[in-house]
Structure 1
Amino acid sequence: MNQRRPSTVTDLALVAVFAGVISAATLAPAIPVGPVGVPITLQTLAVALTAMILGPWRGFAATALYVIVGLAGLPVFAGGASGLGVLAKPSAGYLLAFPLAALLIGFLTRIVLTRTEGRNGLRWALLLLAGLAGSFAFVHPMGIAGIALNAGLPLDKAFLADLVYWPGDIIKNIAASFVALAVHRAFPGLLVHPSVQLDQLPEAVRS
């Protein structure tokens, strides 16, 4: 029996588009806060949304492409920053955490979508938890490490410096989960695994 397999061209296009979405998120004014001035941006919202929409591997690829392009010299980071010099800034840990966070969020999103069909309230709550898992498993721990290393703060003070970003990340993950849920309701086959049989898909997806 035929199986639905993802198009490589489509995958590459989605990866490129969402790398652009993350880049576009930096166009919103960055707000420096805390003792080391790491800015509040919309990057974490874009990373979570990318992972929730594209899934683990495409989400990881899109986010990694964004980071690589910025490190290569294109001004796609917050405030128009670019180049390897950003790795010496206090924000370096947050930046390097993005692909890992996207990978985890994407995996959890795939599990949520395959096990909660038709239960949108539960889906939204679990997508929110998936986004928070990525934030608190990777973004904040690596961000704290980057602050401690590059700003010369002890870990306890770096942790306190990171606390200011928690409320905003929670709000951004709430927004990302709402948008991702709407996208998956409109395109229910977006994260279907290649092993799923074609006749198991909704008619709207097969057509």
Structure 2
Amino acid sequence: MERNLTLIALFAALIAALGLLPKLNLVSGVPITAQSLGIMLCGTVLGAKRGGLAVLLFLALVALGLPLLAGGRGGIGVFAGPSVGYLIGFPVAAFVTGALAQAWRDRGGFVFPAAAALIGGMFVLNILGIIGLSIKLDKTLIEATALALPYVPGDTIKAVLAGLITQGLLKARPGLAEA
């Protein structure tokens, strides 16, 4: 139990630390950040339950006002902006990524955690983000999808990095993924 809590807190801190890297603002109002890599890693390394809990802890700290999002943003107000779909999607993406990574864990290599990160951390996250953009910016789903397309190349790179990092971590610490 104590080990699980430590890992959950550690990965919430990782997401926060990745927010310190400079963000790139797009016209949609949703910045490109390294934090989605942290979301992917929560799932690929910790699995569905612990990964989702790490992201929920991170979001709770953001809601309490800690400036943990890229650009030093925090507080309940961030959940009313164009990023809301992505923020709501963070724990869902970590959970889906984790469920897939757990199911494919015995296959080894970096390809399967990278694929899990692509499906959960890119597709699922972007679907929820696009819905949020559509609602908050009063755009059609097609228009919101066009606004989200610039994220795809970076998210693909992050998914591959998540696969490589996960492979390295699990090779160095084989018991890390066990609940």
Relative to the length of structure 1, the TM-score reads 0.83
- Residue 10 of structure 2 is aligned to residue 17 of structure 1: yes
- The residue identity in structure 2 corresponding to 1:16 is A
Alignment-mate amino acid for residue 109 of structure 1: A
Which residue number in structure 2 is paired with residue 95 of structure 1?
87
Residues 31-46 of structure 1 correspond to what in structure 2 (within 5 A)?
A: 31-33=24-26, 35-46=27-38
Post-superposition Cα deviations, 1:63-83, rounded to whole Å, max 9, x if no partner, equal 110011101111111211111
Mapped contact 2:130–2:141 kept (Cα < 8 A): yes
Match of 1:48 in 2: 40
Q: Percent identity?
A: 36
Shift of 1:136: 4.2
- In the superposition, relative to structure 1, how do residues 136 and 171 fare at CA in structure 2: closer, same or farther (>3 Å)? closer
Q: Judge conservation of contact 2:39–2:121 (CA < 8 Å) in 1.
A: no
**Larger gyration radius, structure 1 or structure 2:** 1
Superposition misfits of 4+ residues, deviation over 4 angstroms: none
Structure 2 matches for 1:98-109, cutoff 5 A?
98-109=90-101
Partner of 1:29: 22
Aligned AA for 2:39?
V
Question: Equivalent residue for 1:77?
Answer: 69
Q: Is the 8 A contact 2:44 2:98 kept in 1?
A: yes
Query: Which letter does structure 2 place at the counterpart of 1:27?
Result: L
Distance of 1:107 and 1:189 partners within structure 2: 17
Q: Distance in 1 between matches of 2:153 and 2:79?
A: 25
- Post-superposition Cα deviations, 1:58-109, rounded to whole Å, max 9, x if no partner, equal 1111011001110111111121111111122111111110101111111111
Shift of residue 189, structure 1, vs aligned partner = 2.1
Q: Within 2, Cα distance between the matches of 1:131 and 1:43?
A: 13
Structure 1 vs Structure 2 CA RMSD: 1.3
Moved more, 56-65 or 137-146: 137-146
Name the count of aligned residue pairs: 179
